[in-house]
Amino acid sequence: MSLLIPMLKLNIKDETSRLKAVVLGTAESNGPIPKPEEAYDPKSLQHILAGTYPKTEDMINEMEAVANVFSKYDVQVFRPKVIQECNQIFARDIAFVIDDKMIIANILPERGKEIDAIKHVWEQVDPENRIILPDECHIEGGDVMPWREYIFIGTYSGKDYPDFITARTNTEAVKAIQDLFPERIVKSFELRKSNSDPLENALHLDCCFQPIGKNKAILHKNGFLIEEEYQYLVDYFGEENIFEISKKEMYEMNSNIFSISEDVVISEKNFTRLNTWLREHGFTVEEVPYAEVAKQGGLLRCSTLPLIRD
């Protein structure tokens, strides 16, 4: 007799409603330091070449600090099955949830086995709500942000798209998401891409923008290729509600914090200017060390895959 698998009632409407269940990546068996030609992004490449690539034990400790915060707030945490010598930190890359649907990301081919490692989560989703997009749709969860009536999506539509390993979401995927959610307004943003300069590269939308609280946002103007698209967000949230980060703060991943609720965020402990601003605006800031993980071009939002928010 087969065992019944419990079903997860997925619910993600936005970025900041009270978190109930999440997938947190793992650094348990991160593998050897990649060769320069194996780097997926310019920040990782920079640290590979400088000899400062993060150590596995340091990243394990940083991720456990995040797990402890989730425990404090009674959040159900799923972890990927550990694949030996495989970087599985960035759970947001491999899948994302909008409303009650879980969508498998079409990611870099070399990373396909990471999806198999969350099969135990995928199988708890109603089969009707499991979405696999066509092969021509390239998309990663860091580029996708449900926000009330909107779905904000980072993309790159230049003819040189194939030349950028940092271009992760294409226009075909944007169209596919609009077809899946016709009742939502899908608003896409052209992002600045560089294979070699991390100061000039917005790997995902959450590397230069993130909504926080009820009506606030973190933004970095230079991450957007088209100024009018950046201005759209300024007008939407209101200039007084925006924390504008510098190029250096973008490089350090200040926009890649993570919301547990409208008034509680997890942030890197060294983000002094941001964390001060957040507290001044009524947020509870749970500070964690995450600077070693950040050397790979992602931070707290990148390593979490929310499943259920109230």
- 112-159 pLDDT, tens digit per residue, is 788 889 999 999 999 999 999 998 999 999 999 999 999 999 999 988
Report the alpha-carbon distance of residue 57 to residue 217 in Å, rounded. 33
pTM listed for this prediction: 0.93
User: Which is more confidently placed, 187 or 159?
Assistant: 187
CA torsion angle 199 154 278 262 (round to 10): -160
Report the alpha-carbon distance of residue 10 to residue 99 in Å, rounded. 7
User: What does the block give as tokens for 266?
Assistant: 């997890």
Helix ranges (DSSP H) in the chain: 42-50, 56-72, 113-116, 119-122, 171-180, 227-237, 247-251, 272-280, 291-294
Q: Is the pLDDT of residue 190 over 80?
A: yes
Buried/exposed 134-170: b ≥16 CB within 10 Å, e otherwise = eeebbbbbbbbbbbeeebbbbbbeeeeeeeeebbbbb
Average pLDDT of the chain to the nearest whole number: 93
Report the alpha-carbon distance of residue 144 to residue 4 in Å, rounded. 32
Is the Cβ–Cβ distance between 94 and 132 less than 8 Å?
no
User: What does the block give as tokens for 60?
Assistant: 């394990």
Q: Which helix (H) or strand (E) holds 101?
A: strand 101-104
Q: Is the pLDDT of residue 2 over 60?
A: no
pLDDT at 1: 40
Domains and CATH numbers, the chain: 19-309 (3.75.10.10)
Beta-bridged to residue 14, according to DSSP, are: none
DSSP for 156-209, please give it: ---TTGGG-TT----HHHHHHHHHH-TTSEEEEEEB---SS-GGG--SSGGGTE
Q: What's the Cα-to-Cα distance from 218 to each of 223, 239, 250, 255, 272, rounded to whole Å?
A: 12, 11, 10, 6, 14
Beta-carbon contacts of 37 under 8 Å, excluding residues fewer than 6 positions away, are none
pLDDT at 31: 85
pLDDT at 151: 98
pLDDT at 65: 98
Report the alpha-carbon distance of residue 288 to residue 286 in Å, rounded. 7
User: Which is more confidently placed, 196 or 119?
Assistant: 119
Query: Tens digit of pLDDT for each residue in 245-296?
Result: 999 999 999 999 999 999 999 999 999 999 999 999 999 999 999 999 999 9
Other beta carbons within 10 Å of 178: 16
Is the Cβ–Cβ distance between 269 and 289 less than 8 Å?
yes
